[in-house]
Chains A and B, each alone.
Chain A
């Protein structure tokens, strides 16, 4: 089993090295270009120079979605082992499922009620 993951690691390495090769080829091809002027390296906007800071505190509703997402994502991790063993467990699995999904729906209903799913 571990060799399979070593194989996955090798794929990751290929995925890192291949773009580097492309970047190298591109660097050779455009090596005779002049160095970009400072004006060219300005932040791209509507033609005016950019005003104010970009790295600011961001809108709160993104954070609410992230919170609800974390709750749901943990649920899905638990649901997967259950789904694999579902056919061999019979009635027990059905009852389990109803309990589990009821808890999930309770949290979902609460998030909905509190307006976490609204885009403000």
Chain B
């Protein structure tokens, strides 16, 4: 994957050779990175749509899509063509402007979260010094788009779905932020590359195991995925906040959802599973140097698989159980985790000195 970094540096120096200042070259590189991430997201959406249906079929002991092409790969193309060529229906009663922009802004916020994710050493669009804080801010902005979609549809199911989504997302955001705090205390930095490099000796999943579990549960709830998919529960709300959307606008919602799932898995990988670092210092296996990007992708896919696994294993929660679990269990646990981490670091420093 060094090739990609060299390519990026090549384009950068070419741009500077064209007479652009370093700052504007940096901005253009950001656009190039954003395009690369768009391609990355599209590839993953396509892989995940198929993977989800195959894993679901595998877990429920039935056959998934397996007719079109080997392993049903052709199904993906059929899906894309279908959603692209479908009619774009905007209900007459809807608030048309908000209805139209909701799907676009949701996708934009999902894309924005990718700005700080370090795919490998140096492979990050913008290594902001407030990295993880930026991620939290951007991830929670998605709530607004969901409320916009639910409200503007002028449909009772959509409104209930949107309201539930907001209540759920703000409730589970607090434990998520608190669980990330433990990692920040250990690292002393919000920068993503610093967080990865701090895990050189030990991945943070070991000292921060509770935080990892809390983060995982909260991230599942933030993504509105089963068992926390009350906002779009098929049996009661049909599709929740995007019930009125059809065709490509609906596909944008699905893309945003899968993109946020990839982002949440990537953050879990970066914060707790050592990011692009090789496990146990296994940088080379049998003399072959495995690039950091490959390790990152292996960990990313492991996390994505667990999300699929959880979705098809657990039944949906009841709405009051969901809120109680968030407010009365996860928040005290994550607060206690901060206290224990703080005391632990202090005692450790005492012993060292």
Chain A residues at the B interface, C-beta cutoff of 8 Å: 1, 3-8, 10-16, 18-20, 22-23, 25-27, 29-30, 33, 36, 38, 40-45, 50, 54-55, 58-59, 62, 65-66, 68-69, 72-73, 76, 79-80, 83-88, 90-91, 93-94, 97-98, 101, 104-105, 108, 112, 117, 119
Contact = CB atoms under 8 A, between A and B. Distances in A.
A84 B248 contact: no
Contact of B29 (A7, A18, A90): A7
A1 B134 CA distance: 14
A7 B328 CA distance: 40
Contact of A119 (B133, B252, B324): B324
A39 to B, nearest CB: 10
B173 A73 contact: yes
Contacts of B91: 41-44
- Ordered nearest first, which 8 A-B pairs have the shortest CB separation? A7-B30, A15-B108, A119-B320, A15-B111, A26-B248, A14-B34, A41-B92, A11-B34
B159 interface: yes
B131 to A, nearest CB: 11
B171 A65 contact: yes
A68 B331 CA distance: 12
A89 to B, nearest CB: 10
B75 interface: no
A117 B324 contact: yes
Interface residues on B, range: 35 or more
Contacts of B87: 30, 33, 36
A80 B184 contact: yes
A41 B96 CA distance: 12
Contacts of A23: 88, 248-249
Nearest to A19: B104
B188 A87 contact: yes
Contacts of A29: 84-85
A62 B150 CA distance: 15
A62 B328 CA distance: 16
Nearest to A85: B188
Contact of A65 (B84, B88, B238, B323): B323
Contacts of B127: 4
Given A4-B128, A12-B108, A83-B185, A58 B163 contact: yes
Interface stretch (B4-12, B306-314, B341-349): B341-349
Nearest to A25: B84
A18 B107 contact: yes
A76 B125 contact: no
B118 to A, nearest CB: 14
B263 to A, nearest CB: 13
B298 interface: no
B167 A62 contact: yes
